């Protein structure tokens, strides 16, 4: 843990005295005011073994700001929401004695951060655990306002290995302010955490949270996420759950976002609804498959969360092929084929999810019509064929699926009528 200059002087002075006494055994350290700051085991003048560290009292305070937290002293805030959003207060308390917000009044004013430590009349514990060569090494616990906020393993004064983090409160002024506490303890989903609640357990490396495998929890203690982390972000394989324990996603993360092959599940019933590729946190980019109640209903290409490119649709009940062809923005667009019970019933051009352009209709795999379509109906020039032998039956103009305009009818390749049609009927 980093120590300011005055604390180093005190420690050095204590060490010097201890060395005169061989510096071994159970030792207590005090500041100049006589306040207990450490008690535990020493060897060769350094902390070695089990010990406890307490809030440290400085004889004077200054307005030094922690550069690593990028807090601007004397900055004005119009409301508490802005203050909370600008600074992640939770990270200020992990391995330091608490920083006090001393000049904040009601919801408007100036924020002044200092590292002045309050009077330590009650010997408030901030760390207990194992030391080696004056540094935290081994198992340890961190406290804030007598609340456990971390327990786990340390190496060379930094968190390394397994650990657990707990939700805790933040001191504003002289006490917790109820109006502010409700906002500070809201997570990003707007759910209030209870102080002391487990919010993460997993691996740490070189003092950085979440390196390796870990778990996150909802405010109701249900598991929220389980998987791999790197530098504090989800990175690698992971599984995500909703707040009542139902599986939502499983797959791969890259720098905190879904990337790679992902499986998505129905939020209400838990059925698999999609498996495929995500990119930069956006779903359905690249190849994928859609399901309904675990039945495959589509497989193909996606872009920006919609079907784009070549794909295939399937009937829900029997999984037979329903359609294959091209899509644009989630709709059939371009060339395609329709099937019914594995038999081809149409092939041709589509636009805006309907037959548009030239196409052919089939019955039992036999051609019965070919011609122009508009909005799914026969419109324009077309030809009909007898089902049994495939001979030409009619050729002419159509309007809204009916013969309209000029046309010719045939019977066994012989012309039997040529003339005008209206709403499907001959005009004599």
pLDDT average, residue stretch 293-299: 93
Residue 373, domain CATH: 2.20.110.10
Convert the pLDDT of each residue in 131-180 to its tens digit.
Answer: 998 899 999 998 887 788 899 999 999 999 999 988 875 433 333 333 33
CA dist., res. 196 & res. 206, Å (int): 25
Compute CA 373 distance to the chain's CA centroid, rounded to the nearest angstrom: 45
Q: What angle is formed at CA 75 by the lines to CA 71 and CA 77, rounded to 5 degrees?
A: 110
Q: Examine residue 327 and state whether it is found in any structural domain, yes or no.
A: no
Q: Examine residue 377 and state whether it is found in any structural domain, yes or no.
A: yes
Q: DSSP states of 285-338 as a string?
A: -EEEEEEETTEEEEEEEEETTEEEEEEEEE-TTT--EEEEEEEETTEEEEEEEE
> How many domains in the chain?
1
**Tokens describing residue 236:** 């690698």
**Tokens describing residue 427:** 């005009």
Convert the pLDDT of each residue in 227-270 to its tens digit.
Answer: 998 887 889 999 999 989 899 999 999 888 888 899 999 988 88
**Residue 36 Cα distances to 7, 18, 95, angstroms:** 13, 16, 19
Q: Examine residue 400 and state whether it is found in any structural domain, yes or no.
A: yes
pLDDT band at 70 (very low <50, low <70, confident <90, very high): very low
Q: Examine residue 402 and state whether it is found in any structural domain, yes or no.
A: yes
CA dist., res. 177 & res. 287, Å (int): 52
Q: Examine residue 419 and state whether it is found in any structural domain, yes or no.
A: yes
Q: Examine residue 125 and state whether it is found in any structural domain, yes or no.
A: no
- At 392 the three-state DSSP class reads strand
Q: Examine residue 412 and state whether it is found in any structural domain, yes or no.
A: yes
**Residue in the block written with tokens 């061989």:** 22
What pTM was computed for the model?
A: 0.59
CA dist., res. 347 & res. 324, Å (int): 10
**Residue 339 Cα distances to 236, 318, 361, 364, 371, angstroms:** 41, 13, 11, 10, 19
What is the extent of the structural domain holding 398? 361-428
């Amino acid at each position: 843990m980093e120590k300011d200059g005055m604390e180093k002087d005190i420690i050095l002075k204590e060490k010097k005295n201890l060395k005169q006494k061989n510096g071994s055994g159970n030792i207590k350290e005090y500041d100049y005011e006589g306040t207990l700051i450490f008690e535990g085991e020493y060897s060769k003048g350094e902390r070695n073994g089990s010990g406890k560290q307490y809030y440290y009292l400085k004889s004077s305070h200054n307005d030094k700001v922690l550069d690593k937290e990028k807090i601007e002293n004397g900055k004005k805030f119009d409301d508490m929401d802005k203050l909370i959003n600008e600074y992640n207060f939770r990270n200020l308390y992990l391995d330091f004695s608490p920083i006090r917000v001393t000049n904040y009044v009601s919801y408007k004013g100036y924020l002044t951060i200092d590292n002045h430590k309050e009077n330590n009349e009650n010997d408030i514990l901030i760390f207990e655990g194992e030391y080696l060569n004056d540094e935290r090494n081994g198992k340890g616990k961190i406290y804030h306002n007598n609340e456990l906020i971390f327990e786990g393993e340390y190496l060379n004064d930094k968190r390394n290995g397994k650990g657990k983090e707990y939700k805790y409160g933040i001191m504003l002024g002289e006490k917790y302010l109820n109006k502010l506490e409700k906002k500070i303890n809201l997570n990003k989903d707007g759910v209030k955490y209870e102080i002391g609640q487990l919010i993460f357990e997993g691996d740490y490396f070189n003092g950085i949270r979440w390196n390796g495998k870990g778990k996150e929890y909802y405010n109701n203690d249900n598991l929220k996420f389980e998987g791999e982390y790197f530098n504090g972000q989800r990175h690698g394989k992971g599984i995500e759950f909703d707040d009542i324990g139902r599986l939502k996603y499983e797959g791969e993360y890259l720098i905190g976002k879904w990337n790679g092959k992902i499986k998505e599940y129905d939020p209400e019933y838990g059925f698999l609804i999609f498996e495929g590729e995500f990119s930069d946190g956006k779903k359905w980019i690249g190849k994928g498959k859609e399901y309904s109640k675990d039945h495959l209903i589509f497989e193909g290409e996606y872009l920006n969360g919609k079907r784009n490119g070549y794909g295939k649709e399937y009937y829900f009940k029997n999984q037979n092929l329903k359609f294959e062809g091209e899509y644009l923005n989630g709709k059939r667009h371009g060339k395609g084929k329709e099937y019914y019970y594995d038999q081809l019933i149409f092939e041709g051009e589509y636009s805006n999810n309907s037959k548009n352009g030239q196409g052919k209709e089939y019955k039992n795999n036999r051609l019965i019509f070919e011609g122009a379509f508009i909005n799914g109906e026969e419109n324009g020039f077309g030809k009909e064929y007898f089902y049994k032998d495939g001979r030409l039956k009619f050729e002419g103009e159509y309007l809204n699926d009916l013969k309209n305009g000029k046309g010719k009818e045939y019977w066994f390749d012989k012309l039997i009528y040529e003339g005008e049609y209206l709403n499907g009927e001959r005009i004599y």
